[in-house]
Structure 1
Amino acid sequence: MKSLEAELETARSLSVATLADSIESIGFDCTRCGACCTGEDDGEHTATVFPDEVRELTGEGGESPESEAQSASESSTDRDWRDVARPMPYGLSEGAGGLEGETFEWALQTDGCGDCSFYEEDDAGVGACTVHADRPLICRTYPFSVALAGTSQPMGEAVDEAGVVRAHECEGLGREIERDEAEELATALKERAIRELEEAIAVRDAYEPADPDPGEVVVHDSEGAKRVDGTPLETGVDRT
């Protein structure tokens, strides 16, 4: 198996044009069905979000011109870390007071139904993302992923593959896509693959066992160990 560093170099060398060719050959047009934003029968919606993407959604990372055009009621500045992200559930166990233990990375926050907290449906049942301008890379690129070790796979089984591009379960697959849209998706897909591998390497290099107390959750990301509210946790010391 290639090292993460070797996979990162592969990701950096990916051709956007070739990725776009693959996306075109598979075909895609979003139907706004909401399946990629809602929970599955066996659990909550789980989508990886990077620390800087969390800050973007809380308003700490600055806003793009597109996001600045959103209405004041959709402003991200009223959100805190826990409004945006929750600990990735994998590796955590159920304790007396809820989940506890150590995990890696963050997932987008969910509502009481297990759906992404930023997903809304109108009266006609058409879904929409309320933070569309600042949505994370995994959302920008769904239903596609790059078949490289160390990159994350979104929810839904891979049902098609062209080159290094995998397509995951989505009713929008197989539909005609314009070349400029395919290139935009391909650009984001390459960026995501690079970011995921950079994050994986940084998590590996920064990891120190935290030995959390009962009832405590510690999340390890590329910036180190954090509490559930995103604040840093000092590791390697006696915290009693």
Structure 2
Amino acid sequence: MESLEAALGRAESLSVDELADAIESIGFECTRCGGCCTAIDDEAGTEPHTATVFPDEVRQLQAAADERFETSYDWRDVARPMPYGLDEDGTGETFEWALQTDACGDCTFYEEADDGTGACTVHEDRPLVCQTYPFSLALGGTGEPMGEAVDREGLVRAHECEGLGRDIDRETAEELAETLKERSIRDLEEAIELRERYEPRPDADGAVVHDSEGSKRPDGTPLDRR
């Protein structure tokens, strides 16, 4: 298995032009359908929207929400513990954070217009995983959106989205490729830092979230802060 450090080296050396070529070949245009921001409903029930958000992105979203909505957003207004690994009662240990959801399981920053099109209320400050959807890179240690890849060109994977296959201009493809590379590097840097800081905490009450800054409580405060 490729080490995280080796994968990081590969990510840093990626050609933006080649990534843009792949994105152009697949094709993409956002239709504002809201599919990447809302819960998934199927025969098994409703699965809440789950998108990874890094600690500094949570703070950036807090600041953005405070400015746009003119009210104070605490950590839990923006992020929740990644549900994978937690018990049904929400206790246990998990890794990283997911964007907070509303009562319907949709991203808390998603809103739908009267014509049915969706919008992000913090679009300019949205996390890297949102900026690059529906694409990810096939590099060990990097994250990917929910759902299996439905198309692939080289290292670029495309995940289910009704905007796939549409024409995309070169400038937009290059901007998306640059951000996709940035996200992959960040994924790996965060994973390496998390690995270095990780200490199991089975003795802790409630939920414990391990991220690149250490172990935290669900409200984002360090676990050992008194």
TM-score (norm 1): 0.89
Aligned residue among 86, 100, 109 for 2:91: 100
**Which residue does the alignment assign to 1:46?**
50
Q: How does 1:1-240 map to 2 (within 5 A)?
A: 1-41=1-41, 42-59=46-63, 73-75=68-70, 78-94=72-88, 98-214=89-205, 216-234=206-224
Shift of 1:74: 3.4
Q: Distance in 1 between matches of 2:153 and 2:200?
A: 39
Deviations 1:123-179 (A, max 9, x none): 111100000000000000000000001111102220111110000000000000011
For residues 105-133 of structure 1, the C-alpha deviation after alignment (integer angstroms, 9 at most, x for no partner) is: 00000000111000000111110000000
Q: Deviations over 1:19-69 (max 9, x none)?
A: 00100000000000000000112411000000000000111xxx6xxx9xx
Consecutive unaligned residues in structure 1, runs of 5 or more: none
Aligned residue for 1:8, secondary structure, equals helix
Tell me which amino acid in the other structure corresponds to 2:133: Y
Question: Structure 2: where are the runs of 5+ without partners?
Answer: none
Shift of 1:73: 4.3
* Post-superposition offset of 1:234: 2.3
Work out whether residues 74 and 131 of structure 1, in 8 Å CA contact, stay in contact via their aligned partners in 2.
no
Shift of 1:211: 1.8
Shift of 1:209: 1.1
Taking the aligned partners of 1:190 and 1:134, their CA distance within structure 2 comes to: 18
CA distance in 1, matches of 2:51, 2:26: 23
Provide the rounded CA distance (Å) in 1 between the counterparts of 2:184 and 2:13. Answer: 11
Letter matched to residue 104 of structure 1 = F
- Displacement of 1:201 in angstroms is 0.7
CA RMSD of aligned residues (A): 1.8
Moved more, 220-229 or 35-44: 35-44
Q: Distance in 1 between matches of 2:116 and 2:91?
A: 36
Q: Judging changes above 3 Å, is the alpha-carbon distance between structure 1 residues 79 and 218 closer, same or farther for their aligned structure 2 residues?
A: same
Q: Identity over the aligned pairs, expressed in percent? A: 69
